[in-house]
Amino acid sequence: MTELVSEVTRKVKEEMAKAVVGQGEVIDQILIGLLAKGHVLLEGVPGTAKTLIAKALAFVLGARYRRIQFTPDLMPSDILGTNVFDLSTSTFSFKPGPVFTDILLADEINRTPPKTQAALLEAMEERQVTIDGTTHPLPPLFIVLATQNPVEYEGTYPLPEAQLDRFLLKVLIAYPDPEEERQVVSRHHQGFDPHDLGRLGLRRLADPGPILQCRQEVQKVVVEEGVTRYIVEVIRRTRSVPSLVLGGSPRASVALLHASKALAAIRGKRYVTPDEVKEMAKPVLRHRVILRPEAEIEGVTADQVIEGLLSQVPVPR
């Protein structure tokens, strides 16, 4: 029942609000990624609560949480793990890396070379890791929350299209409004410690079980044929927009479908309407389309192109 999804996500957001001021839309979209079994790329300047959101979410869900600081010298084995030789038994045993967790925060993912970035590809797509020919499954809840700074490009390795396409959503994190920023400062003045969430009175779910159950309920959300055609038409039109070099692939169509179903379930609806599709189009597509250089020079953004495209596609009734 979608009532379960809306109730569980409402409780999660209420608890997270004890630690995170504002950022309601960001938290909603991360929950959509979690329910749709997708990964989320968070883009925002330092100090906008990206790490705090990830930690608070894991705390409230009762989920395992690991953070990896991506640096130029990070190796794939530092993420995935490696086989270690045991002298006492003269055998190799697998030592899991930090990827074996429920919620993985890949901090500043664009600061590590492509070889290490690619180490996450199998984990994100197949939800498993293969070391020396042996496959190790990842936990059922597994989700990657990756962050990157939109301003500082020196010493970075932009994510290739293949890796970007593995993220269900790209979420833009803006500065808080003046009242929210005042609340942040006030909380810190009163002794708020983002490293000790237990003191804030956050209540945990007993275990991640309810979220796994919610994922099953999301799959039951109804999508009428007209809405399916609408989703496909939105994606297909990105391939013929003059200001774009690259449009969305069929994977983008599937991503838009799953994200729309998750949003509908969070709202307590049993079916998807074009409203959910429109709302999820930007976070699903903004990292999957590539602007032509001349469009970028003119200051055109991916979001503006997507918005213009949505205004042209006939909405099913």
Tokens of 238: 């990105």
Please classify residue 303 by burial: count the beta carbons closer than 10 Å to its beta carbon, then call 0-12 exposed, 13-18 middle and 19+ buried. Answer: middle
Region 130-151 average pLDDT: 88
Q: Do the domain assignments include residue 106?
A: yes
- Say what the pLDDT of residue 172 is: 92
Say if residue 209 is in the same domain as residue 301: no
Say if residue 130 is in the same domain as residue 237: no
Supply the CATH number for residue 287's domain: 1.10.8.80
288 closest CA partner among 171, 173, 170, 158: 170
- Say what the pLDDT of residue 139 is: 92
Say if residue 208 is in the same domain as residue 248: no
Question: Given a cut of 90, is residue 29 above it in pLDDT?
Answer: yes
Say if residue 227 is in the same domain as residue 249: yes
Share of the chain above pLDDT 70, in %: 97
Specify the length of the chain in residues: 317
Say if residue 153 is in the same domain as residue 299: no
Whether the predicted model's global pTM rises above the 0.85 cut:
yes
Q: How confident is the model at residue 94 (pLDDT cuts 50, 70, 90)?
A: confident
Tokens of 303: 């979001």
| pLDDT tens digit sequence for 191-212 | 887 777 777 777 877 677 888 8
Q: Going by DSSP bridges, is the β-strand pair 81-86/91-96 parallel, antiparallel, or unpaired?
A: antiparallel
Say if residue 171 is in the same domain as residue 308: no
Say if residue 209 is in the same domain as residue 303: no
| pLDDT tens digit sequence for 150-178 | 776 666 778 888 888 889 999 999 888 88
Question: Given a cut of 90, is residue 119 above it in pLDDT?
Answer: no
Question: Given a cut of 90, is residue 308 above it in pLDDT?
Answer: yes
- Say what the pLDDT of residue 86 is: 78
Segment among 18-27, 276-285, 307-316 with least mean pLDDT: 18-27
**Number of domains making up the chain:** 2
- Say what the pLDDT of residue 206 is: 62
104 closest CA partner among 67, 53, 158, 61: 67
Say if residue 234 is in the same domain as residue 208: no
Domain that holds residue 232: 222-312
Say if residue 50 is in the same domain as residue 140: yes
Which helix (H) or strand (E) element contains residue 126?
A: helix 114-126
Question: Given a cut of 60, is residue 1 above it in pLDDT?
Answer: no
| pLDDT tens digit sequence for 41-86 | 999 888 888 888 999 999 899 889 999 999 899 998 899 988 887 7
DSSP assignment letter at 34: H
Greatest mean pLDDT among 20-29, 72-81, 109-118, 220-229 lies in 220-229
Arithmetic mean of pLDDT over the chain: 88
Region 285-313 average pLDDT: 91
